[in-house]
Chains A and B, each alone.
Chain A
Amino acid sequence: MTATVEAASARDFTERNRKANWIAFATMVALIAVAPFVAYPFFVMQALCFALFACAFNLLIGYVNLLSLGHAMFLGLASYCCAHAAKVWGFEPVSAIAVGVLAATVLGFAVGALAIRSFGIYFAMITLAFAQMVYFFSVEAPFTHGEDGIQGVPQGKALGLVDLSNPWALYVFVALVFLFGFLAIERIVQSPFGEILKAIRENEPRVISLGYRATLYKLAAFTLSAGFAGLAGATKAIVAQNASLTDVSLSTSSEVVLMTLVGGMGTFYGPALGALIVIAMQNYLAQFGEWVTVIQGAVFVACVLAFRRGIVGELAARAKVSL
């Protein structure tokens, strides 16, 4: 094996990779464009919000190897704050979403600062504990309205220009938010910062020994992930016109784990696909009532056993590319 052969095969891989990623991205955009004509637009928008949520979660589990079992706290808090800002303070939707993102980012920084020094299962348990605290806070706090949640959130005019109560305008708006979040997370992973994150995932002591304060990088990643989870939650509040306890609940936290694993953690497209599958199952299997959870569990087990890398992970491995 000579150097030139190796370099050529590396170039070949890069080329193939670029092509595969363009195809995947184009397919995703095409699906988003066609979806509202073949499926119920409200369902698609909800799926897009959860897809962004899963991408944000994947930034941690897939690229830093941090398992957060309480990510719904960011989704939910942002959802409440955005709903409150839009309904009570009369903010237009973009500012209301910004309020939600800000709240989630601040919470992410605070929780991250306290949890990030723990490793593995201890880290997961701490995030879980904080999520439970946020849940109880949401049950008790006056502004979240307990069991009722915040209902009748006005959709308003985005930046005072585009009326989001028009379903098509709303759809385009949500699609753009999703694409922005998706591309931003992809950029984070592919940045100089992302390189350090991946190195931490592979061997944290080694990264530290080279002079990087790994804890700060992990905290930054956690905060960013919380922010994007918040973007998903806040947008969801505008779409659904409500914010409720479900959004901060443990089941939402576990759903995002499910979505990411089914789609493929550590892949760009896996979490979004996983979210689509899980949300679709919930919608179309709703007729089976309580059995949805059981069916979901069965699908989950089957997926994990059949494709350990998740759907996109398996596809990428077969095609020898990284998606």
Chain B
Amino acid sequence: MSDDDILVTEGLTKSFGDFRAVSDVSLRIKRGAIHALIGPNGAGKTTCFNMLTKFVAPSAGTITFNGRDITRLRPADVARLGLVRSFQISAVFPHLNALENVRIALQRSRGDSFDFWRSKAALKPLNARALELLDSVGLTSFAYATAGEISYGRKRALELATTLAVDPELMLLDEPMAGMGHEDIDRIAELIRRVSANRTILMVEHNLQVVANLSHRITVLTRGRVLAEGDYRTVSENPEVREAYMGAGHA
């Protein structure tokens, strides 16, 4: 592998019983790029994310992050190395307010938080940064709203702010714009572009407009296999892709 590649997988495979959700996927993600992973429902995109972040153990294959084999690491340790994911199903802390949600992530900057004897007033210095992050996703006015009670699109934005709070080197976003209105999509797309300046982003997204505008490189997955890879133009002109994925409605 070259130093340009931040993440490399070789022959990544996941079987659930007899069913192969992901088979033999070899990916190379360039440092600094926005790389999109697309494919029809059930193609294995989320399963790939789960393996990359070690939430699911691969049945076969290796994962190398920054030149280091992370195939056997624990999920929290992978996150500490700077490979952080978001979830397809919005993952906020519903009973905490938006500010507290982001602050949980910011607490990582203190190292571990086993200090059970200290008052949480010790976390106050993190509030300013939390508000800044909320502002960047357009949630300033919801800082004190209970996370479980805000709209779906705003939960996604909150989740993005929380992910950004740990300042990951490689950020995996699983359908960050699902359930958002036009305005929000534009704002989040802009935000993703902005924060990609000093990090790498791998994202799953069904909105092809967004994919076309944002990503440098696209990998198409169908039935667990890589069908095509390249920039948007190459991929969208690939007849197999047109048939398998963009087929009927999209193209």
| Chain A interface residues (CB < 8 Å from chain B) | 1-3, 6-7, 9-10, 13, 187-188, 190-196, 198-199, 202-203, 205-214, 216-217, 220, 224
Contacts and interface: CB of A to CB of B under 8 A. Distances in A.
B118 A210 contact: no
Contacts of A210: 79, 84, 104-105, 108, 162-163, 166
A209 B91 CA distance: 10
B113 A196 contact: yes
A6 B113 contact: no
A213 B95 CA distance: 21
Contacts of B96: 198-199, 202
Nearest to B134: A3
22 contacts: A10-B97, A10-B144, A187-B116, A191-B116, A192-B107, A192-B118, A194-B120, A195-B120, A203-B92, A203-B94, A206-B91, A206-B93, A208-B75, A209-B53, A209-B91, A210-B79, A210-B84, A210-B162, A211-B77, A211-B79, A212-B113, A220-B114
B85 interface: yes
Given A190-B120, A191-B120, A198 B93 contact: yes
A236 B128 CA distance: 47
B115 A196 contact: no
A205 B87 contact: yes
B123 interface: yes
Contacts of A220: 114, 116
B107 A196 contact: yes
Nearest to A224: B116
A195 B123 CA distance: 10
Contacts of A187: 116-117, 119
Interface in B92-144: 92-97, 100, 103-105, 107-108, 110, 112-120, 122-123, 140-144
Nearest to B95: A202
B94 A202 contact: yes
Contact of B114 (A7, A9, A209, A217): A217
Contacts of A202: 93-96
Contacts of B141: 1-3, 6
B144 A9 contact: yes
A198 B120 CA distance: 13
A216 B80 CA distance: 15
Interface in B136-155: 140-145
Contact of A208 (B79, B120, B144): B79
Query: Contact residue range for chain B?
Result: 35 or more
A209 B80 CA distance: 9
A213 B112 CA distance: 9
B117 A195 contact: no
A237 to B, nearest CB: 26
A220 B108 CA distance: 18
B242 interface: no
A3 B143 contact: yes
Contact of B74 (A6, A10, A213, A217): A213
Contact of B104 (A2, A195, A213): A195
Contact of A203 (B74, B93, B166): B93
Contacts of B208: none
B55 A205 contact: yes
Contacts of B92: 203, 206
Contacts of A196: 104, 107, 113
B140 A191 contact: no
A58 to B, nearest CB: 15
Given A3-B140, A198-B96, A202-B93, A209 B87 contact: yes
Contacts of A3: 140-141, 143
A2 B87 CA distance: 29
Nearest to A190: B120
Contacts of B108: 210-212
Contacts of B144: 6-7, 9-10, 13
A13 B115 CA distance: 26
B197 interface: no
Nearest to B78: A211
Nearest to A217: B114
Contacts of B80: 211
B83 to A, nearest CB: 10
A207 B114 contact: no
B157 to A, nearest CB: 15
Contact of B100 (A2, A195, A205, A211): A195
A193 B143 contact: no
B88 to A, nearest CB: 12
A217 B123 CA distance: 18
